[in-house]
Structure 1
Amino acid sequence: MPLIILTGYPCSGLTHRAHQLSTLLSSIQDSLTDTTTSKGRYKFHIVESHDASHPRIVYDTARSEKEARAVVYGRVKRALGKDTFVIVDGMNYIKGWRYQLWCESKAATTTCCVVHVGTPIDQCTANNEARIRKRERKEKGTEKEEQQEANKDSETAETEASPTTDDDEEPYPRELLENLIFRYEEPTTHSRWDKPLFTVPWSDPTPPAEDIWTALTGTPIPKEQSTTDNTTPLTTTTPTPQTASTTTPSLTSKRTSGRAALPRPKIIPHQATIQPTTTDPSALHAFEKRTSEVISALRTFSLENPSASAAIANSSAGITIPVPGATTSVFIPAEALASTPTDELAGAGGILALPRLQRLRRQWVGMNRAYLGQGHARGQKGLEVEQAADAFVRFLNAEFEGVEG
């Protein structure tokens, strides 16, 4: 389930580091859980950015690069399942693209980290040139030239430390390589989607797999279970046979005490990555129906009582209009009636004119569209259909009370 995003210059050994991480993390898991069952264990999946359908020349045009990136995004989204380490093999040189993958990990409630393969530009260029020469040898197919180039490669390998051995990757065109290096956006710890950030220099034989495991799973690795610490202190004295027999079971008990189910870190996604809950498709129609019933009741009252002065004769405070489906009534204060330019309730400029009521109805429905069956914030209960009439009446009362001449 954790996501590891590799990033670096082209021809910096990203594929080699991806397979290294998969092997090292798998060995760490084996040392922590002494069990033969697959229950509670992580699986490891490497998502490659290039294949036969999407070669490295896709970076020549923006359209082909966008299509290839969409394929990678779909693979990552499908692979982000339960109990799976997903390693994204590729340059991932755009910070917006890394942010998109980070958001996807948050939506899947899993952890994420960035591993920067820090290979110098000169070394990346040399690696690409070696791939070009190797491809040219395969195209020519002459054994003599293969032997000469092999001797040259063996001489240069003695002076340069290379973590890769059999490099059969496809080379980049020279101009494209320079362009990609120029366009590279280096990760930084100031960006939350680039944290935690691990840098692997070209000279390091292995990446910091133990630190990556601890950061992604939240499980610290005991010193006795470290797969890289094989040295003993010089000050340690040789134990006697009796002492050795007493200390050996303690080490064995620590190794065999690993649980079958590894702990999973709890990730709370933020509001930007929370998927909205599905609502009843007829909820909006029900809201429209309830508000239309309120408007129809007001329209019927204005037709039966066209004069505002006659309607207010029974009460000097204002007009009270009961509406169906609501526990409260619509109340129009006397001050609001006096501020209208006409005495007709439903006439042009009247307080109950049909265009005005329809405008207020559309305004209320638009304001509450996001609250249909859910809350705008996480965990907040939304507006139910049964509450629509009362809520709309309160909105109308507030509008009528605030009418100014």
Structure 2
Amino acid sequence: MPLIVLTGYPCSGLSYRARQLADQLEAAQTDLFTAGILPPSKPRYNIHVVPTHDPSHPRTVYDHARTEKESRGVAYARAKRFLGTNSFVILDGMNYIKGYRYQLWCEAKALGTTCCVVHVGTPIDQCPSIHSRWDKPLFTVPWSDASPPIAEIWTALTGIPHPSTLNLSPTPAAEQEKPTALSSLVTSLSSTHLSPSSAASTTTTAAPSSLRSNRPKIRPHQATAMPAATDSSALYSMEKRTSAIVTAIRGFTLTNPSAEAALAQSDDGRGLTIPVPEASIPVFIPAHVATAGSTDELAAAGGILALPRLQRLRRQWIALNRAYVMGTHAASKGGGLSPEQVPDAFVRFLNAEFGAEEEV
């Protein structure tokens, strides 16, 4: 069935229009079945929206020609796969290359179906862009102008009409019946006074609704918001607690140097269980991993619990979590890992590392 190819500028609403088309095509065939124009025995048309980017091909593919070509090839293959006798295919994307659209038209023609192009005509100056969104609104002052457009700039920044746009010379009768917006603003400002009960509180007459600010509220985001202060001892706490766990494992290897002997004495036949301080879960090493080293000694060179390896795993875990504890992500989550959570988190990391060797 038909192929619909969307075109338009980036951020012009292509995906929104694609979803609209899909919903309205679905509603149209529902109405046709309800009215009896299409017989109940006829199967419903499948409607597929094929995007040119997905989690595997994000919008950054357009930064380079090679990655954009790969993404375009994936979308082309998906559209070709969905094309059939009982389906609508909507190709969502800019699709600005004429040869690419011709290639899609040839695929539709080869299957004996129709094809159309839908151009989303949002003007380029209305499409949001990461390169120009902080340059709007933009006021251009020609060299020949005697003064800049102060009225438009004032209204854009404050949301309050400029005095030059207000009626400042009403008739005396109209002034008595209905004050102008400017006089209302002056009255509200002049009526501001300190409350006798509290010097810190003030009472102000509400300004007319036409004078209230219409500016959008500026909300700080990750690039502008100051990160919350984190505990300066967080990194020291990580170092201290992880070192205590490595010391406990080292003490276990000194008490039980042989892997075979340690497994024979273990209460759990599945492997070695090593209790560590401040952690609610023990370090667990599967039996086949404990005996997989090049030597039977746990702490010897080549052993599964050799001290250099434990120190390397500790440094790796601290490097992975330093940004989480001290960075902006920790600030947004209220400080990241608490000191009480560090031992359990490190033990889970060690168990995953030792257990992962099962598949090696």
TM-score (norm 2): 0.50
1:395 aligns with 2:336: no
Give the deviation of 1:309 after TM superposition: 1.3
Q: Distance in 1 between matches of 2:324 and 2:130?
A: 37
> For residue 345 of structure 1, what is the aligned residue in structure 2?
298
Residues 251-330 of structure 1: matches in 2 within 5 Å?
Answer: 251-258=178-185, 260=189, 266-313=217-264, 314=266, 315-330=268-283
Give the SS at the match of 1:372. helix
Q: Distance in 2 between matches of 1:318 and 1:285?
A: 32
Relative distance call for 1:257 and 1:377 in structure 2 (3 A) is farther
Residue range with higher mean Cα deviation, 287-296 or 334-343: 334-343
Question: Match for 2:343: what amino acid?
Answer: A
Residues 60-99 of structure 1: matches in 2 within 5 Å?
Answer: none
Q: Distance in 2 between matches of 1:373 and 1:189?
A: 28
Give the SS at the match of 2:141. strand
> For residue 120 of structure 1, what is the aligned residue in structure 2?
none
Contact 1:189–1:196 (8 Å) recurs in 2? no
TM-score (norm 1): 0.45
> For residue 35 of structure 1, what is the aligned residue in structure 2?
none
Contact 2:163–2:182 (8 Å) recurs in 1? no
1:214 aligns with 2:155: yes
Relative distance call for 1:341 and 1:250 in structure 2 (3 A) is farther
Question: Match for 2:273: what amino acid?
Answer: T
Question: Match for 2:134: what amino acid?
Answer: W
Relative distance call for 1:324 and 1:343 in structure 2 (3 A) is same
1:365 aligns with 2:318: yes
1:191 aligns with 2:142: no
Give the SS at the match of 2:147. coil
Residue by residue over 1:294-345, the C-alpha shift from the partner in whole angstroms, topping out at 9 and shown as x without a partner, is: 0000000011001111111232211111110111111111232233222211
Residue by residue over 1:244-285, the C-alpha shift from the partner in whole angstroms, topping out at 9 and shown as x without a partner, is: 555223552532333558758532233223333322222211
Relative distance call for 1:271 and 1:294 in structure 2 (3 A) is same
Give the deviation of 1:204 after TM superposition: 1.8
Q: Distance in 2 between matches of 1:383 and 1:310?
A: 37
Higher relative contact order (CA 8 A, sep 6+): 1
Give the SS at the match of 1:201. coil
Contact 2:289–2:354 (8 Å) recurs in 1? yes
Question: Match for 2:352: what amino acid?
Answer: A
> For residue 164 of structure 2, what is the aligned residue in structure 1?
227
Relative distance call for 1:230 and 1:268 in structure 2 (3 A) is closer
Give the deviation of 1:212 after TM superposition: 1.7
Unaligned 5+ runs, structure 1: 1-187, 233-238
Question: Match for 1:249: what amino acid?
Answer: Q
Question: Match for 1:293: what amino acid?
Answer: A
Contact 1:373–1:384 (8 Å) recurs in 2? no
> For residue 115 of structure 1, what is the aligned residue in structure 2?
none
Aligned residues with identical type, % of pairs: 56
Tell me how many residue pairs correspond in the alignment. Answer: 204
Give the SS at the match of 2:300. coil
Root mean square deviation, CA, Å: 3.0
Residue by residue over 1:47-82, the C-alpha shift from the partner in whole angstroms, topping out at 9 and shown as x without a partner, is: xxxxxxxxxxxxxxxxxxxxxxxxxxxxxxxxxxxx
Give the deviation of 1:206 after TM superposition: 2.2
Residues 113-192 of structure 1: matches in 2 within 5 Å?
Answer: 190-192=131-133
Residue range with higher mean Cα deviation, 291-300 or 254-263: 254-263
